[in-house]
Amino acid sequence: MALRTIRIMGDDILTKKCREVTEMKPRIKELIGDMLETMYHAEGVGLAAPQVGVLKQIVVIDASEEGDQPIILINPQILELSGEQTGREGCLSVPNKAGIVTRANYVKVKALNEEMEEIIVEGEGLLARALQHEIDHLSGVLYVSKVEGDLIDASLLQEEAGEEREAQA
């Protein structure tokens, strides 16, 4: 596995729609391994393939407390959204910024796993937020288009460092 370079807002690739994965190949397995390594290294809760320059519908997420429960989603589709949560959000592709975004509090997603088997993932709270954020990346949508008010300079948030991990996906 290897770290990949995270693309930063302003890079065109972050605004493009991703293609479906039709077949699992060794280089896609390698990409998924690299995405996990890159996400953990950057201390993010999620990463989408376009963030490392690949226009494929692949996301990795780990919103667990311990950071040891990775979820890999290929061709994810949102089946259900309900409830509402308003909170701070950030993105590894928009470094040192955060903003307030309202999202559904519950989400149900259909996707394929690494074996190309269909799986259903349900999430609430932070996991639901991460799922919606990452799936948006696959359509070329960044959270900054959904921010209520202004983007905040994350250096102003250091006093609340306990919440910092939530702010990067």
Active site residues: 134
Give residue 158's Cα distance to chain centre.
Answer: 22
Cβ-proximal residues to 125 (8 Å cutoff; 6+ apart), any chain: 85, 105
Residue 76's closest CA among 100, 92, 59? Answer: 59
Can you tell me the distance from the alpha carbon of 73 to that of 29, in angstroms, rounded to the nearest whole number?
A: 12
Binding mask 80-119 for Ni ion (x = CB under 5 A): -----------x----------------------------
CB closer to Ni ion, 12 vs 117:
12
Cβ 18 to Ni ion shortest distance, Å = 13
CB closer to Ni ion, 101 vs 169:
169
Residue 31's closest CA among 1, 62, 71? Answer: 1
Residue 38's closest CA among 68, 10, 65, 1? Answer: 1
Residues in binding contact with Ni ion, number by CB under 5 A: 2
Can you tell me the distance from the alpha carbon of 140 to that of 55, in angstroms, rounded to the nearest whole number?
A: 10
Cβ 8 to Ni ion shortest distance, Å = 11
Contact between 14 and Ni ion (CB under 5 A)?
Answer: no
Cβ 44 to Ni ion shortest distance, Å = 8
Nearest residue to Ni ion, by Cβ distance, number only: 91
Cβ 129 to Ni ion shortest distance, Å = 11
CB closer to Ni ion, 28 vs 94:
94
CB closer to Ni ion, 74 vs 169:
169
* Cα distances (angstroms) measured from residue 31 to each of 24, 40, 51, 57, 80: 11, 14, 12, 12, 28
Residues in the chain: 169
- Contacting positions for Ni ion (CB under 5 A): 91, 169
